[in-house]
Structure 1
Amino acid sequence: MTDPEEQKCDISEASASEYPNCREKMKWMEEGWRTHECYALYGVNGTFCSFRIYLSEVEKYCPVLPWREVAKDDISVLPANEVQPVVDLRFFRIMSHKKRDLSNLFKLMFDNELNYKFIRNRITLLWSKWLSAYDELMIRVASPRPKLNIIIHMGFLTEEAGFKFGELSSTGGPLGELVQWSDLIAALYLLGHNLMISTEVKTLEKYALYISLYNWHGDKKEFFYEKEEKRNLKKIDYKFPCPLRGKQVINLLFTDIVGLRYLRGKMSDFFNKMKCTVRVLDSFGTHAEFNSQNYFIAHKNSLGGSGKNPWGNNQLDLQQFMTMFPHTDDNTFLGFAVEMHPVNEDITRDNITLVYGKEGYMWKDAKPLIERVRKFTNVHATVSDNLPDFDDLIINHGVLTGPELHALMRRAKIFLGLGFPFEGPAPLEAIASGLVFINPSFNPPKSRKTADFFKDKPTLRELTSQNPYAEHFIGKPHVLTIDIENSSQVEDAVREALHSKPTAYIPFEFTVLGMLQRVSILVSKQDFCHASRFPPLDALLTVEAASMQSCQDACRQRGLLCERSFFRVVNKPEFLNKTGLCVALKSTSSPYAPYECMRQENPDLHSCASVPNVPKIRRICPCRDFIFGQTALCSSCL
């Protein structure tokens, strides 16, 4: 590069590893800056330096030039503990002093009454526990957290999705996702954040419109408030590719894969503007191989499953995907709160086995299992359907309310899994009520290659049981993982469960306080819009994996977790050429990189979970510690 102007605005190799998308974005700007007038409004004029200044001070893809003076009110340079001011948007009706009043929260749930029925009921039922947890958390918090403006869009509840989860929630339908969303909403509200909640696309589009209007007319409140109702909303173009001006109006946008697909397809410009703020609730997780469209297309024949990727190709940072359980180190563990009730350990329980399977299809081929269990206990069920084949074998209570179900759990001794549903919240609720969970094992493990349920899922995970978290993180005496088709294992497990007297137990990360602490830290510190400073770099511990071993397994062997955000740090010569034997470092776009002498060329493919298919590859892995009972957080993350 000979142009002096370009030389002073170029990005160094060291900075490029910290800001891996900078050069790609600089290349795009050469032509892309002409696609919308907003770039010129930010000072882009076609010169190399104007691209660099825009990408460092507005979109944050590049490091700030040392000779540039950054505006003092730029939120990207606020100290970590400084509270960001709240923008006075009309839909933000929640103020921190009202956060204990549920009526203010429920006013935000207005676009479909049926969709919110379960959510309102669950939040109300647990509200006293949330308040107690909040009071305890505030004693622990050393400094104030930012109060953020947050959109919550539950795409799976929309009419367009067609799942009818809201309608089915009271008739025995799937509840796992609704449990997680309910708990997330409760936590965010109680922490004082300002919420926009939607379960219909029309509501989401209206929010997007208001944000766009505020973006350009926020200083003219009479325009925003008075004239908005008179406008034909369909004729106003809310599409706008540049980030919001001045203070960030929306800090986070929580959605699910259904909502993400709608944003990418029907609201693409709004999505591109908000992309780094998006958090996606994704129960089973997303692996790097399915996040990158180019990689999936090139390797789909070796990835098993249907050969399709309907829930992938989203090209977000993998840590923007938030899971139900801490099963995928590449993603972020969000979790849920387990409903706990006081358990009198002195009471005598009845010889009751409660079966985990609330819909008729889950009982297919289960008759031999139920007959074996009936040799030892009465068998109870909460099935929404009639089960004529089991009329003489079980006592079916039908669909129960939450309090009714927990009352039944406190009478029983055993909670028996049938193998499906996978990774639901019910086993943890049973363990919290003092039951022993008999957890069906899977051999071979369930995955894209062995189970129709996973054939389209964007993950290579292999489930070794119906609830791997209960199997690996809890275990005996609360969890007995067995082959339920092996009669001797079943009978031995039932005997062991009946003779053991486990106390009610739940890991801290699944308590109300555990979730509230985790949500508080993640929403205030996790950042995908700027160069990451969370977790802090002093948490990094490097490990060399064994041959044919993933970084996730290599770290866990040592009692650590793989920390994906640290791959950018270990993707450097001092880590890749420790022996000094590399003649030169090479680069590759592979989920197995980095490893000795080989850099990762595509940061989207950084992967904790990927297992090399070549024996000579020994991956260089970034690990971190974690707080006992709170795996999402490192010891220096608080």
Structure 2
Amino acid sequence: MGGVESRGVLRKISDMLEVILKRMDSLSKLDNSTTSDTRRLDELSSAINRFQPAGLVERIQAIAQNVSNMAVRVEQILQNSMAAGRAVRDGSSGQCEVPRDPRYPDCPGKVDWMRARWTSDPCYAFYGVDGSDCSFLIYLNEVEWFCPPLAWRNHSSPPTVHTHTRQTATTKRQAAFRTDLSSLLDLVGTGKESLSFMKRRMRRLASQWGTAAQRLHAKLRQRWREQKKILVHVGFLTEESGDVFSPKVLKGGPLGEMVQWADILTALHVLGHNLKISMSVKELQGFLGVPPGRGSCPLTGPLPFDLIYTDYHGMQQMKQHMGLSLKRHKCHIRVIDTFGTEPAYNHEDYATLHGYRTNWGYWNLNSRQYMTMFPHTPDNSFMGFVSEELNDTEKSSIMRNKVNNMAVVYGKEASMWKLQQGKEGFLQILHRYMEVHGTVYYETQRPPEVPAYVKNHGLLPQHELQTLLRKAKLFIGFGFPYEGPAPLEAIANGCIYLQPKFHPPHSSLNHEFFRGKPTSREVSSQHPYAEQYIGRPHVMTVDYNNSQEFDSAIREIMSTKVEPYLPYEYTCEGMLERVHAYIEHQDFCTPEAPFPPANSSSKLGLSSSASPGPLFVLLPNSSALTWAPNANAPPAWPPLSSLRLLASQEGQSCVEACQRANLVCEPALFRFVNNREALRGLEVQCEVVEAEVNHVFPAFSVLRRECGLQKDPLLYSCAGLSPKYRRLCPCRDYRRGQVALCRDCL
């Protein structure tokens, strides 16, 4: 350490000592210092008297730290003593005994914690905590909610803050459809290539969003809609999360998440809601009202938003900065989650006990609060994105100008082309029949992974890529990336999409990409949605390891004519319709009425005396049951008119059981089939009926004649399966082209 630095540190120590002496002088003038405080001050004074500035230079830093610690402790003692003095003057010292109230069992423990740790976060001082028991009790009642009110406090005025109650607006505003995106573009901001990409997409699709808004407005017949206050916090694009996406936008990096977020923002704006957009933790703190400090305390006021859309990165950031408020307000949160989160992974305690704990999940949300890119996980809500919709003239032009022997490869990164992954065989077959084009990113030299016979265009802007797809006959996937938007865009531009079938299916059990994701889903191909919901002739899924099958598929593609095709749910109107329905009908904050009703004679199900007739009746020409027309139908969304109750096979999930009946599993309806009436309607023989915490219940074992009902609603799971049980599956119908909504759901 140099001489100048040493003198600087010594000056700092001198200043600290002066502050300490002033504090001690203040303390000496207080009459109510406790014996223990006096003893601590004597110890500090003795330590200061022993302090010699002229010591070894290498110890100066350590001495400075010790003095700094002394200053902090003196400050605490001073605040404690002054608080005690105020309590004596106010006459409240005897009124701040820690209560033993059975209605507030956590209060004593919380006070003990505050005594030991209140200086650990400046937010406590921000709320008036000064080290006295009175301040602890005031804070733990009026800011948090662990202690009872203090009788001597003035309760005629509003408390400091009530984070557990939402401030209701005196007047509700009507949401009006918007067709002008200029204010949204301003909100998105600038400064990152990811934001520029999103804004370019918004501008390009603006006219289609406008047309879609007019169509939905007409469909809803001018129905009154409340304008919601919505915060959109894009966690994965914040600097605090590392933002690995923005630098790769122009280098072939993944764009799927940015595509989806751009469309979510546009849909919410077009629907007429009041948006705030956060792309940093600082903005998040400002919008939410986070007190200064390290995130231990609740928000400074009621939650100023009806809904918060974020992602897993955003959830972690809110957990760090919202304190207890996150638990209180998490019902307002919607998590954009590409690959889905199943209930067994979402339930923190259950996941920990049963081996489902991962780095994601475990938030104890209602599983429908997770919103996916494709409708692959019915336990979650399907958010989706949009692809550009063509008019009839554009479709005719594309079909006339298709080049029959032209193929474009799905894969912008050179690593996806590595031949050691077994691609040389089918690529040679493809090259035998077709001219192969690539859009692989490179800076100076052609990527060596791309064979010489491939015409590589490099990374193309969206409009140039679209031109290429409109000429090509085939869009071919190599097996990765999974479930991106590109295949839908290719199909919408008149391509046939060819993809590999996976034997065995890829999952967290056998594939590194899915390991650690909060789902047990098995992926049967590169793009299961394209395989299951679109299919031939637009999509062909074959075994790439079977050269004869692959060869046959190429020849079939060359002889097949297809029109450009886009599923309705991926049009602007389809997404607006879906998001509108979620905002209008999904409410995870209002507790659901118990079913069966509380006055039912059986907690596990309805008895015959509780209902004049059966709740379920058999559908004509079907093995499924539906809600009886003469049975009372409690309010629900989706409505009970959409319910189709059936039993799965052993080892079969409700996802698969419903799909096989051309239906969709609906987790919101589990609570209506989790009873004896449902078992009776399916003619299940039960010697034992028990309620348990098990993600495959409600279910029954034919062999053992045992029936299980679900004890924890968070574990209602479409995805759960067991070889021992047949499951009770609440399936529902769905609108044509809109699998997320039942026929009566709009």
Q: What's the TM-score, normalizing by structure 1? A: 0.79
Residue in structure 2 matched with residue 132 of structure 1 by the alignment: 211
2:653 alignment partner, one of 550, 553, 566: 550
Unaligned residue ranges in structure 1 (runs of 5+): 1-26, 47-56, 61-70, 87-94, 213-232
- What is the one-letter code of the residue matched to 1:135? Q
Residue in structure 1 matched with residue 268 of structure 2 by the alignment: 188
2:493 matches 1:433: yes
TM-superposed CA distance for 1:242, in Å, is 10
Q: Deviations over 1:223-276 (max 9, x none)?
A: xxxxxxxxxx736989437993xxx73111000111112222343333223200
Report if aligned partners of 1:627, 1:633 keep a CA contact under 8 Å in 2. Answer: yes
Distance in 2 separating the partners of 1:382 and 1:237:
45
- What is the one-letter code of the residue matched to 2:413? E
Report if aligned partners of 1:323, 1:335 keep a CA contact under 8 Å in 2. Answer: yes
Distance in 1 separating the partners of 2:146 and 2:448:
69
Distance in 2 separating the partners of 1:186 and 1:552:
31
Aligned residue for 1:274, secondary structure, equals helix
Report if aligned partners of 2:106, 2:146 keep a CA contact under 8 Å in 1. Answer: no
Unaligned residue ranges in structure 2 (runs of 5+): 1-101, 111-136, 151-161, 593-635, 701-706
Aligned residue for 1:574, secondary structure, equals helix
Distance in 2 separating the partners of 1:134 and 1:250:
24
Distance in 2 separating the partners of 1:109 and 1:179:
14
- What is the one-letter code of the residue matched to 2:106? E
Q: Deviations over 1:76-121 (max 9, x none)?
A: xx9xxxx9338xxxxxxxx958x33322112212374434111101
Report if aligned partners of 1:442, 1:464 keep a CA contact under 8 Å in 2. Answer: yes
- What is the one-letter code of the residue matched to 1:624? R
TM-superposed CA distance for 1:45, in Å, is 6.0
2:173 matches 1:36: no
Distance in 2 separating the partners of 1:557 and 1:136:
33
Distance in 1 separating the partners of 2:304 and 2:449:
58
Distance in 1 separating the partners of 2:688 and 2:324:
41
Residue in structure 2 matched with residue 240 of structure 1 by the alignment: 298
Moved more, 549-558 or 420-429: 549-558
Task: From the superposition, tell whether residues 587 and 399 of structure 1 become closer, same or farther in structure 2 (CA, over 3 Å).
Answer: same
Distance in 2 separating the partners of 1:580 and 1:409:
54
Distance in 1 separating the partners of 2:144 and 2:408:
65
Distance in 1 separating the partners of 2:503 and 2:220:
45
Residue in structure 2 matched with residue 119 of structure 1 by the alignment: 198
Q: Deviations over 1:6-43 (max 9, x none)?
A: xxxxxxxxxxxxxxxxxxxxx99653697732489999
Q: Deviations over 1:177-205 (max 9, x none)?
A: 11110101011001110111112111111
Residue in structure 2 matched with residue 508 of structure 1 by the alignment: 568
Distance in 2 separating the partners of 1:319 and 1:576:
25
Residue in structure 1 matched with residue 416 of structure 2 by the alignment: 362
Moved more, 431-440 or 105-114: 105-114
Task: From the superposition, tell whether residues 152 and 115 of structure 1 become closer, same or farther in structure 2 (CA, over 3 Å).
Answer: same
Q: Which runs of structure 2 are paired with 1:609-620 in the superposition (5 Å)?
A: 609-614=719-724, 617-620=725-728
Q: Deviations over 1:328-383 (max 9, x none)?
A: 11010011101234231551322210000000111112333222111111100100
2:667 matches 1:568: no
Moved more, 571-580 or 287-296: 571-580
- What is the one-letter code of the residue matched to 1:489? E
Aligned residue for 1:439, secondary structure, equals strand
Residue in structure 1 matched with residue 173 of structure 2 by the alignment: 85
Distance in 2 separating the partners of 1:620 and 1:243:
44
Distance in 2 separating the partners of 1:441 and 1:107:
44
Residue in structure 2 matched with residue 174 of structure 1 by the alignment: 254
- What is the one-letter code of the residue matched to 2:292? K
- What is the one-letter code of the residue matched to 2:318? L
Distance in 2 separating the partners of 1:325 and 1:442:
19
Distance in 2 separating the partners of 1:275 and 1:583:
40
TM-superposed CA distance for 1:583, in Å, is 5.7
- What is the one-letter code of the residue matched to 1:167? P
Q: Deviations over 1:34-67 (max 9, x none)?
A: 7732489999769xxxxxxxxxx9979xxxxxxx
Distance in 1 separating the partners of 2:104 and 2:739:
40
Distance in 2 separating the partners of 1:489 and 1:451:
25
TM-superposed CA distance for 1:448, in Å, is 0.4
Q: Deviations over 1:508-562 (max 9, x none)?
A: 1011111111111111211111145322233222212222211111222211111
Task: From the superposition, tell whether residues 517 and 172 of structure 1 become closer, same or farther in structure 2 (CA, over 3 Å).
Answer: same
2:415 matches 1:312: no
2:189 matches 1:145: no
Report if aligned partners of 2:477, 2:497 keep a CA contact under 8 Å in 1. Answer: yes
- What is the one-letter code of the residue matched to 1:149? K
- What is the one-letter code of the residue matched to 1:296? A
TM-superposed CA distance for 1:170, in Å, is 2.3
Distance in 2 separating the partners of 1:515 and 1:112:
28
Report if aligned partners of 2:188, 2:195 keep a CA contact under 8 Å in 1. Answer: yes
Q: Which runs of structure 2 are paired with 1:403-418 in the superposition (5 Å)?
A: 403-418=463-478
Aligned residue for 1:622, secondary structure, equals strand
